[in-house]
Amino acid sequence: MAKGQINVQTENIFPIIKQFLYSDQEIFLRELVSNAVDATQKLTTMGKLGELKSEVGDTTIEMKIDSKKKTLSFIDKGIGMTEDEVDRYINQIAFSSAEEFVEKYKDKASIIGHFGLGFYSAFMVADKVEILTKSYQEGAEAVKWECDGSPNYTLEKTKDKKERGTTIVLHISDDAKEYIEENRISELLNKYCKFMPVPIKFGTKEETLEEKTGKKDKDGKEITKEKKITKDNIINNPEPAWTKMPADLKDEDYKEFYRELYPMNFQESLFHIHLNVDYPFNLTGILYFPKLKNNLEVQKDKIQLYSNQVFVTDSVEGIVPDFLTLLHGVIDSPDIPLNVSRSYLQSDGNVKKISNYISKKVADKLHDLFKKDRKGFEEKWDDIKIFIEYGILSDEKFAEKAKKFALYKNVDGEYFTMEEYKEKVKEAQTDKDKKLVLLYTSNKDEQYSYIAAAKEKDYDVLIMDTPLSAHLVGKLEQQEEVSLSRVDGDTVEELIKKDEEIPAKLDEADEKKLKPVIESVLPDESFTVNFVSLSEKAAPMTVTQAEFMRRMKDMSAVGGGGMMGMGNMPDAYDFKVNANHPLISKILGEKDESKQKEMAKQAADLALLSQNLLKGESLNNFIQRSIKLI
């Protein structure tokens, strides 16, 4: 029996491993299963290259719990280790067998492990660790390595290991008892090992089969009986859809994989993108477009990142552009650099290239769908528009490509690209300064009267009703050289100034006399009374809010806007009185002060009601007054 001290640069590495090296204790399971997969794939590679004298045979990896002994075992039938290799790869932890193997079989093998310290994550949960291993090499003897969490170990030959491969036994410490619970291990295997490329067995499961009896019933139908059989419980899918070529998959295969990824998600995705590139970096994956509607937050963190089918993280910021984190699916790349725990991503040139590639692929796919089936694309638009708005606002290259497929819907339910829309409205909505003015609504129902007034003048109104719309209108003004105004942001006549000003029927003295009457019936000082000269057919009183102020508040509410605290500023409204409307002249000419005030209050409340600003007691009083007047 050999005894010795593990060759490390510090007196005792184990407290460092437990406290600092890994961000999550549960990572040990992924590291040890990855090592088992590694050893198995090495054996398979050598078998394909004709370097094995024995058959590869069954390569299933097995996990076992012994609750009485408080052990968790990882059993593989892979390449195994000789006594010398155990000394090099386990005792001298500066070495990594994966790196050495990659160098020897460069371009011929798919290797998961690049982390020499991966094995030592076992000591985060174990008081003692045993390795029983037998090399594939002819005449090799099995050896047993044992360590109790100090730098001291024992290494000896053993008769306990008959078959080729490696068994790692963790004697679970008292403060980590959860790792000898079947449910907890099942949960972690499902999280980290669901798509590892080698079958992984954890216990058995019972299945019911229909068995023919050879007999028939009175109607001549075959009589069957149920037969229960016990099978290995293989917890993973070694050949997930993203590892296959797109030509080998049908739509149903993609749908089935989506259900496999998100078993608790009962909504189908809208469509998918299959990523497959091997130069200048390696990347495979499938991204799905979920039905987003107007929800930005609930959809995030649904993309899973893998490295050669080993789960790394579902927090992919830095790997994909921020707007693409709204998508669902899988990205797998061995070229994304990871730290020892594989939990955090380190930024480098490859990451940037990968990010740009994914963004381009998504834009190309959207453009392709738009060209091939515009009607179908329009039907999906409301479910994906917030995603595309996010992309336009956050990624310049995507924004440029999106000009070809980004749609804008008007209140009549028609869809246009921006170029098509500008062509549609340019004749009616170009103002006297030759500026094209686009009108939009953020709430079709609440702003109905303003939309109706705009349509009476043959103006068209777009629907811009997502949380990002306030940001998008500014982007469009900059990008398209147009002006955008919310349909209730001013009177229709002032939104698109085309005519000379209409002379006012009221003079300055009349306005001075009427202004305090109107101010007295308004809810508070947030309303500023202004007299405007509009046509007699325009509304007698109108409530508007400055486009700039409202837009800044909207942007601040969803983040951004450039002005700190803008979202907390009190609302300020323009209360516009149409000096040419007959009702205003009637209010001015009314001699009875109480009747004059009642008329002014009724007209003011109608204006407030049209902006959904009449509530509670004020709304009730308005209803009672209206009944009385009728």
pLDDT of residue 94: 40
What is the full DSSP assignment across 569-596?
Answer: SPP-EEEEEETT-HHHHHHHH---HHHH
Strand order in the sheet with 527-532: 527-532, 573-578, 541-544
With a cut of 70, say whether residue 23 has pLDDT above it. Answer: no
Which residue type is seen at 623? I
Residue 177 pLDDT grade (very low, low, confident, very high; cuts 50, 70, 90) = very high
For residue 523, whether the previous peptide bond is cis, meaning omega lies within 30 degrees of 0, is no
**Region at 501 (left for phi over 0; alpha for psi -120 to 50; beta for the rest):** beta
Q: Is the alpha carbon torsion for 483, 485, 487, 489 positive or negative? A: negative
Q: Where are the domains of the chain?
A: 2-201, 241-377, 407-495, 508-545+570-629
Q: Tell which wins on pLDDT, 325 or 78.
A: 78
Q: What is the mean pLDDT of residues 17-36?
A: 76
With a cut of 90, say whether residue 238 has pLDDT above it. Answer: yes
Residue 600 pLDDT grade (very low, low, confident, very high; cuts 50, 70, 90) = very high
CB-count exposure of residue 418 (10 Å: 0-12, 13-18, 19+):
middle
pLDDT of residue 275: 92
Cβ atoms of 303 and 262 within 8 Å: the answer is: no
Q: Which of 283, 367, 358, 364 is nearest to 326 (CA)?
A: 358
pLDDT of residue 343: 43
What is the full DSSP assignment across 471-540?
Answer: HHHHHHHHHH--EEEETTSS-HHHHS--SPPPPPSS-HHHHHHHHHHHHHTSSSTTEEEEEE---TTS-S
Q: What is the mean pLDDT of residues 495-505?
A: 74
Cβ atoms of 530 and 577 within 8 Å: the answer is: yes
Q: For residue 356, what are the contacts with CB-CB under 8 A and spacing of at least 6?
A: 397
Residue 96 pLDDT grade (very low, low, confident, very high; cuts 50, 70, 90) = very low
Residue 89 pLDDT grade (very low, low, confident, very high; cuts 50, 70, 90) = confident
With a cut of 60, say whether residue 476 has pLDDT above it. Answer: yes
CATH for 508-545+570-629, options being 1.20.1070.10, 3.40.50.2300, 1.20.120.790, 3.30.310.50: 1.20.120.790
Statement: the pTM of the whole predicted model exceeds 0.85: no
Cβ atoms of 505 and 579 within 8 Å: the answer is: yes
Q: What is the mean pLDDT of residues 32-44?
A: 93
What is the full DSSP assignment across 341-386?
Answer: TS-SB---HHHHHHHHHHHHHHHHHHHHHHHH-HHHHHHHHHHHHH
pLDDT of residue 347: 52
Residue 529 pLDDT grade (very low, low, confident, very high; cuts 50, 70, 90) = very high
Distance, in Å, from the CA atom of 259 to the CA atom of 245, rounded to the nearest integer, reads 19
Alpha-helical (H) ranges within 373-468 are 374-394, 396-402, 418-425, 448-456
pLDDT of residue 16: 52
Q: Which of 152, 16, 166, 172 is nearest to 91 (CA)?
A: 152
Average pLDDT, the chain: 84
Residue range 357-408, pLDDT digits in tens: 889 999 999 999 999 999 999 999 998 998 999 999 999 999 999 999 999 9
For β-strands 527-532 and 573-578, DSSP reports them as parallel
With a cut of 70, say whether residue 20 has pLDDT above it. Answer: no
Cβ atoms of 436 and 449 within 8 Å: the answer is: no
Q: What is the mean pLDDT of residues 285-299?
A: 74
> What's the chain's Rg over C-alpha atoms?
36
- What is the token pair recorded at 420? 């098509």
Residue 93 pLDDT grade (very low, low, confident, very high; cuts 50, 70, 90) = low
pLDDT of residue 76: 97
Fold of 407-495: Rossmann fold (3.40.50)
pLDDT of residue 562: 47
With a cut of 90, say whether residue 111 has pLDDT above it. Answer: no
Lowest-pLDDT range of 36-50, 103-117, 416-430, 497-511? 103-117
With a cut of 90, say whether residue 98 has pLDDT above it. Answer: no
With a cut of 70, say whether residue 223 has pLDDT above it. Answer: yes
Residue 14 pLDDT grade (very low, low, confident, very high; cuts 50, 70, 90) = low
241-377 under CATH 3.30.230.80, yes or no: yes
DSSP E strand boundaries for 237-302 = 271-277, 283-289
Residue 340 pLDDT grade (very low, low, confident, very high; cuts 50, 70, 90) = very low
Cβ atoms of 173 and 158 within 8 Å: the answer is: no
Residue 297 pLDDT grade (very low, low, confident, very high; cuts 50, 70, 90) = low
Alpha-helical (H) ranges within 26-159 are 27-48, 83-86, 97-104
Kindly state the percentage of the chain with pLDDT values over 70. Answer: 86
Q: Is the alpha carbon torsion for 104, 110, 115, 116 positive or negative? A: negative
Distance, in Å, from the CA atom of 396 to the CA atom of 321, rounded to the nearest integer, reads 11
Cβ atoms of 147 and 6 within 8 Å: the answer is: yes
Degrees to nearest 5, angle at CA 526 with 523 and 529: 85
Fold of 2-201: Heat Shock Protein 90 (3.30.565)
DSSP E strand boundaries for 135-263 = 143-147, 152-157, 165-172, 200-216, 222-234
pLDDT of residue 84: 92
Residue recorded with tokens 């097995």: 62
With a cut of 50, say whether residue 435 has pLDDT above it. Answer: yes
Question: Which span out of 20-34, 198-212, 408-422 was modeled with the highest average pLDDT?
Answer: 408-422
